[in-house]
Chain A
Amino acid sequence: MTIAALNSTSASAILPGSGGIRGALSDLFWRRPQLLLFLMLLPPVLWLGVVYIGSLFALLAQSFFSIDEFSGLINHEFTLKTYGDLFQAANLDIILRTVTMAVLVTLASAVIAFPIAYYAARYARGRWKALFYLGVMLPLWSSYLVKIYAWKLILAKEGILTWLLAKLHLLWVLDGWLSLPVVGGNSLSVSATGTFIAFVYVWLPFMILPVQAALERVPGNLVEASSDLGASPGQTFRNVLFPLALPGIVAGSIFTFSLTLGDYIIPQIIGTSRLFIGQAVYSQQGTAGNIPLAAAFTVVPIVIMGFYLWGAKRMGAFDAL
Chain B
Amino acid sequence: MTSAVSFQKVSRHFGSVRAVDAVDLDIVPGEFFAMLGPSGSGKTTCLRLIAGFEQPTSGSISIFGERAEGVPPYRRNVNTVFQDYALFPHFNVLDNVAYGLMVKGVAKSQRQKAAEEALSLVRLPGYGARRPGQLSGGQRQRVALARALVNQPKVLLLDEPLGALDLKLRENMQEELKSLQKALGITFVFVTHDQGEALSMADRVAVFNDGKIMQIGTPEDIYQRPKTRFVADFVGSSNVLPPDFVQRYSGQHRWGSLRPESIRIGRAAKGEGVAARLVGTNYLGATTRLALDADGLRLHAIVPAGTKLPAEGEAVVLTFNREHLHLMDEPA
Interface residues of A, Cβ cutoff 8 Å to B: 219, 221-222, 224-232, 235, 239-240, 243-244, 319-320
CA A148 to CA B45, docked complex, whole Å: 51
Q: Is B142 an interface residue (CB 8 A)?
A: no
A-B contact count (CB 8 A): 64
Supplied contacts A224-B51, A228-B74, A230-B104, 16 more A-B pairs, CB within 8 Å = A224-B82, A224-B86, A225-B80, A225-B86, A225-B88, A227-B72, A227-B73, A227-B74, A228-B51, A228-B73, A228-B78, A229-B99, A229-B103, A229-B148, A230-B74, A319-B90
Are A232 and B53 CB-contacts (below 8 A) given A221-B86, A224-B86, A320-B89? Answer: no
Which residues on the A side are within 8 Å of B84 (C-beta)? 219, 221
Whether the pair A244, B90 counts as a contact (CB closer than 8 A) is yes
Q: Are B80 and A239 neighbours in the complex by a CB distance under 8 Å?
A: no
Pick 9 A–B contacts, CB within 8 A, sort by A: A219-B84, A219-B86, A222-B88, A225-B82, A228-B51, A229-B99, A229-B147, A229-B148, A243-B90
Contacts of B103 in A (CB 8 A): 226, 229-232, 235, 239
Asked if residues B82 and A221 are in contact (CB atoms below 8 Å), the reply is: yes
Q: Are B104 and A224 in contact (CB under 8 A)?
A: no
Inter-chain contacts of B147 with A (CB < 8 A): 229
With a cutoff of 8 Å between Cβ atoms, the chain A residues found around residue B53 in the complex are: 224, 227-228
Contact pattern, B 59-82, Cβ under 8 Å of A = 1, otherwise 0 = 000000000000011100011101
> Which residues of B37-55 are within 8 A (CB) of A?
51-53
Taking a contact as CB atoms closer than 8 A, the residue among B51, B87, B88, B100 that contacts A230 in the complex is B100
In this assembly, does B151 line the interface, its C-beta being within 8 Å of a C-beta of chain A? yes
8 closest pairs, A vs B, by CB? A229-B100, A225-B86, A231-B103, A221-B86, A227-B73, A320-B90, A228-B80, A235-B103
Most buried by B among A230, A240, A319: A230
**Across-interface contacts of A225 in B (CB, < 8 A):** 80, 82, 86-88
Residues of A close to B90: CB separation below 8 A: 243-244, 319-320
Are A230 and B151 in touch, CB under 8 angstroms?
Answer: yes
In the assembled complex, the Cα of A239 lies from the Cα of B82 at a distance in Å of: 19
Q: Which of A222, A243, A319 contacts B86 (CB 8 A)?
A: A222
User: What residues on A are CB-neighbors of B72 within 8 Å?
Assistant: 227
Contact of B79 among A222, A229, A232, A239 (CB under 8 A): A229
A227 to B151, CA, bound (A): 13
Please give, as numbers and ranges, the residues of chain B lying within 8 Å of A319 by CB-CB distance. Answer: 90
A219 CA / B87 CA spacing, docked (Å): 10
**B74, B99, B102: the one within 8 Å of A232 (CB):** B74
Inter-chain contacts of B148 with A (CB < 8 A): 229
With the chains together, A228 CA to B100 CA distance in Å?
A: 9
Residues of chain A within 8 A (CB-CB) of B78 are 228
Given A229-B100, A229-B151, the answer on whether A224 and B73 have CB atoms closer than 8 Å is: yes
Chain B 136-177 interface 0/1 with A at a Cβ cutoff of 8 Å (1 = within): 000000000001100100000000000000000000000000
> Across the two chains, which residue of chain A brings its CB closest to B77?
A230
Cα separation A221 to B51 with both chains bound (whole Å): 13
Residue ID in chain A nearest B48 by CB atoms: A224
Report the separation of the CA atoms of residues A314 and B103 in the bound assembly, to the nearest whole angstrom: 25
- The residue from B79, B89, B102 contacting A228, defined by CB atoms under 8 A apart: B79
Which residues on B sit within 8 Å (CB–CB) of A222?
86, 88
CB distance from A159 to the nearest CB of B (A): 46
Chain B: which residue is nearest A246 at the CB level?
B90
Give A226 to B298 CA distance when docked, in angstroms. Answer: 50
Known: A239-B99, A244-B90. A231 touches B74 (CB 8 A): yes
User: Complex: how many Å from CA A115 to CA B193?
Assistant: 38
Q: How far is the CB of A217 from chain B (nearest CB, A)?
A: 10
Please give the distance in Å from A321's CB to the nearest CB on chain B: 10
B151 proximity list for chain A (CB < 8 A): 229-230
Mark out the residues of chain B between 269 and 293 whose CB falls within 8 Å of any chain A CB in the assembled complex. Answer: none
A255 to B110, CA, bound (A): 43
- What distance in Å separates the Cβ of A315 from its nearest Cβ neighbour in chain B? 13
A244: chain B residues within 8 A (beta carbon): 89-90
Chain B residue with the shortest CB-CB distance to A219: B86
In whole angstroms, what is the CA distance A55 to B229 when docked? 79
**A221-B82, A221-B84, A231-B74 are contacts. A226–B99 as well, Cβ < 8 Å?**
yes
Q: How far is the CA of A230 from the CA of B105 in the complex (A)?
A: 11
Question: Which residues on the B side are within 8 Å of A239 (C-beta)?
Answer: 88, 99, 102-103
- Docked Cα-Cα span, A55 to B208, in Å, equals 70
Bound-complex Cα distance A235 to B210 (A) = 37
A226 to B86, CA, bound (A): 9
